[in-house]
Structure 1
Amino acid sequence: MPHHPYRIREIAEQSGLSPATVDRVLNERPGVRASTVAEVRQAIVDLDRQRDQVRLAGRTFLVDLVMRAPRRFTAGVRAALEAELPTLQPALVRARFRLREEGPVAEVVETLDAIARRGSHGVLLKAPDHPDVVEAVDRLVARGIPVVTLATDLPLSRRAAYVGIDNRAAGATAAYLLTRTGGASAAPVLVTLSSTSFRGEEEREAGFRSTMREMAPGRVLREVSETDGLDASMLRAVGDVLDAEPDLDAVYSIGGGNTAVLEAFRARGRVPQAFVGHDLDEDNLTLLRRHQITAVLHHDLRADARQACRLLLQWHGAIPGVVSSAPSAIQVVTPFNVPLDAGRGGS
């Protein structure tokens, strides 16, 4: 086990394990699962990354980031949150991370219930809008643990607030861009989602469909969903649609996997005439710079992380202010106005 300056209690709090378990791992005693050793190692890495906050004196707030999303998105949110933690002074905030690319709703519920048992000052959550998740959120709140939803909301839960864009407006913006950049084409449009269980994606699709009906009545929309936004599953699903729709020439990518979407087009000797996606992750930055996608609907992840943490602190009365939801600003990014700091850790 690598040398570290942290007390067993700090590592136990960061990892969610008991002090006795952490002690067994640190002293390399037998009978400890490899996965438990990995959790302790990761906790030490997280503490190292948040060293400035850990070393400051005063009350510490420990928050949990729980997300089910592709790694390209969770990595951006994590980097944004870690970049914002030192700016929250005089409050001292540390974060624990439970990030998964895919998995059943039951795993999300299990994670939230584990947080409820061990305690937390708040949860930042991106999860499917499922009754079991809503109930798990309500159990957290009943234990005095506030929840702020990120990117996609759970409006029927007792969550404290939602932080993210107005997803319906984002979908409408995408429709406007596609109809204005795709010329007079009447060809079908591909709409890709990672999963219809995320309310935010459903709202983007609803806004897109509604605006397309107004601006391009009669234009056919072909949907791909339940891919989890992962490249392999997206490549297969989009390929099937392209084989059935030889004239399809535009894409609204709600759930990501854009490199795979373009690869499916390329494998058939085709190029979309218009392509609108979401988020300035590394994949989209590369595609923008190569002029392979038309535009990205972007919002500042660091501003979202800062706002989410401030809402949790306000809930605890640590800083003044009223806990309420407010949509993030949407920026339309093209190959010609990519922010200078894009790709530098939570743009």
Structure 2
Amino acid sequence: MKPTVHDIARSAGVSLATVDRVLNGRPGVRHVTRERVEQAISSLGYVRDVAAANLAKGRTYSFAFVLPSNDNSFMISLHDEVGQAISRSGPERTRIRIVDVPPFDARALALALNQLAADMPDGIAFVAVEGEEVHAAVARLKEAGIAVVTLVSDLPGSARDHFAGIDNNAAGRTAANLLGRFLGGRDGTIAVVAGSMLVRDHRERLEGFSAVMSKDFPRFGVLPVMEARDDPALAAELLAALLASRSDIIGLYSLGAGNRGIVHALAEMAADARPMVVAHELNRTTTSALANGLIDAVLNQDAGHEVRSAIRVLKGKVEGLPVIAAQERIRIDIFLKDNMP
């Protein structure tokens, strides 16, 4: 059974009225009590259903998801999850559309956001790319009263309402700790492959990774990042050229997509010459590579959770309700060969 407000009140040792104040962001609750209620919400897995609460009003929410269109398995899964949300539109009182844009293109993203503003949807979720024009487009959306959520990659400093995604700096730090421990007392150099430094999630992962490597594993040199634009063919070409030119590469951090190409380049190497590898996103390619020993660890984020969180937050913002941080926190899962699903 799904947890209820009665379960929250019982777990936190407070009244139903207190739970209601926390859920709706009303004053009159001490900070320590509010934290206790939010902890109960998190531990019980309570999910507030704004649509059900507004069923009697006949309210239907109009949302748009602006997503990059490229050969990136995670972005494809994100499209699929939004598609599933569209299939649930009737019961969930939503009208959702997907707008595709070229990846890593701030101008195209800003144009799409500006065009959507003319339709006046209730809310927009999008995978952010850094650029002054994107910040300006978000500001215009907010001035028009449209709720805005960034998805997967954030746009801090903008007027957006919320970010639905993992802590990418923490993901990079986690990758560094895993790789550093895997490599133990060996000597050598670590390569890094990213999609693009134009997206903040890749920059934050690199910053976290570099900080931990510099502080805790200074014996390893970290090469300048190679940008493969999440293109498997380009990733394979860049990595193969690097591995052919250097014999000291003992570790690899793949912080973006393009893992099909990376796995292809690694498979061409002798087993005893391959670097230890930490990558992102569990999919068919990375699961197979884990099983075959081509990748040593995969950090994963749940695309479905991110899409559901974005929709939930957009509904809440339309209704003037607060974001419950414990409910919307996106986990970083770590998969090894031994715990693959």
> How would you bin the TM-score normalised by the shorter chain?
0.7 to 0.9
**Aligned ranges for residues 134-283 of structure 1 at < 5 Å?**
134-269=135-270, 271-283=273-285
SS of alignment partner, residue 96 of structure 1: strand
Cα pair distance change 1:324/1:86, threshold 3 Å: farther
Q: Which amino acid aligns with 2:119?
A: R
| Inter-CA distance 129–265: structure 2 relative to 1 (3 Å threshold) | same
> What whole-Å deviation, never above 9, does each CA across 1:214-272 have from its counterpart, x for those lacking one?
22113111234332111122122222322332220211111121221132234454653
Residues 70 and 228 in structure 1, CA contact (< 8 A), matched pair in contact too: no
Displacement of 1:86: 6.3
Deviation at 1:335, TM superposition (A): 1.9
Residues of 1 paired with 2:251 and 2:223: CA distance? 10
SS at match of 1:223: coil
Q: In the TM superposition, what whole-angstrom CA distance separates every residue of 1:33-90 from its partner, at most 9, and x where no partner exists? A: xxxxxxxxxxxxxxxxxxxxxxxx9433221111236431221112223334566886
In structure 2, the CA distance between the partners of 1:332 and 1:249, relative to structure 1 (3 Å rule), is same
Q: SS of the counterpart of 1:336?
A: helix
Q: State the partner residue of 2:286.
A: 284
- The AA in structure 2 aligned to 1:63 is F
Return the alpha-carbon distance in structure 2 between the equivalents of residues 295 and 224 of structure 1: 19
* Distance of aligned partners of 1:175 and 1:99 in 2 relative to their CA distance in 1, 3 Å threshold: same
Q: Give structure 2 stretches of 5+ with no counterpart.
A: 1-56
Q: Tell me which amino acid in the other structure corresponds to 1:275.
A: V
CA contact (8 A) 2:106 2:130 kept: no
Equivalent residue number for residue 309 of structure 1 = 311
RMSD: 2.4
CA 1:328–1:192: 2 relative to 1, 3 Å: same
| 8 A Cα contact 2:104 2:196, kept in partner | no
Cα deviation 1:172-194 (Å, max 9, x = unaligned): 11011101112322211111110
- The residue aligned with 2:300 is 298
CA drift of 1:147 comes to 1.2
* Shift in alpha-carbon separation, 1:101–1:284, aligned structure 2, 3 A: farther
Change (3 A) 1:265 1:282: closer
How many angstroms apart in 2 are the aligned matches of 1:272 and 1:139?
50
Show structure 1 runs of 5+ residues with no match. Answer: 1-56, 340-347
Q: Summarize the Cα distance change of 1:73–1:197 in structure 2 as closer, same or farther, 3 Å threshold.
A: same
Give the 3 Å change call, closer, same or farther, for CA 101–231 of structure 1 in structure 2: farther
Inter-CA distance 126–307: structure 2 relative to 1 (3 Å threshold): same
Aligned mates of 2:150, 2:115 — CA distance in 1: 18
8 Å CA contact retained: 1:59, 1:91: no
Question: Greater helix percent: which structure?
Answer: 2
The change in CA–CA distance for 1:308 and 1:278 in structure 2 (over 3 A counts) is same
Task: Give the structure-2-normalised TM-score.
Answer: 0.75
Task: Note closer, same or farther for the CA distance 1:335–1:83 as it changes in structure 2 (3 Å cut).
Answer: farther
1:108 aligned partner: 109
| 2:59 matched residue in structure 1 | 59
Partner-residue secondary structure (3-state), 2:118: helix
Give the Cα–Cα distance (whole angstroms) in 2 for the partners of residues 67 and 98 of structure 1.
6
After TM superposition, the structure 1 stretch with the greater mean CA deviation from structure 2, 258-267 or 321-330, is: 321-330
Distance 1:165 1:197 in 2: 18
d(CA) in 2 for partners of 1:101, 1:252: 25
The amino acid of 1:162's aligned partner reads: F
- Name whichever of 165-174 and 121-130 sits farther off: 121-130
Is contact 1:148–1:163 with CA below 8 Å preserved after alignment?
yes
**Does 321-330 or 131-140 show the bigger shift?**
321-330
Structure 2 equivalent of residue 21 of structure 1: none
% same residue: 28
Q: How far 1:144 sits from its partner (Å)?
A: 1.6
CA contact (8 A) 1:276 1:294 kept: yes
User: Relative to structure 1, is the Cα distance of residues 338 and 101 closer, same or farther in structure 2, using a 3 angstrom cutoff?
Assistant: farther
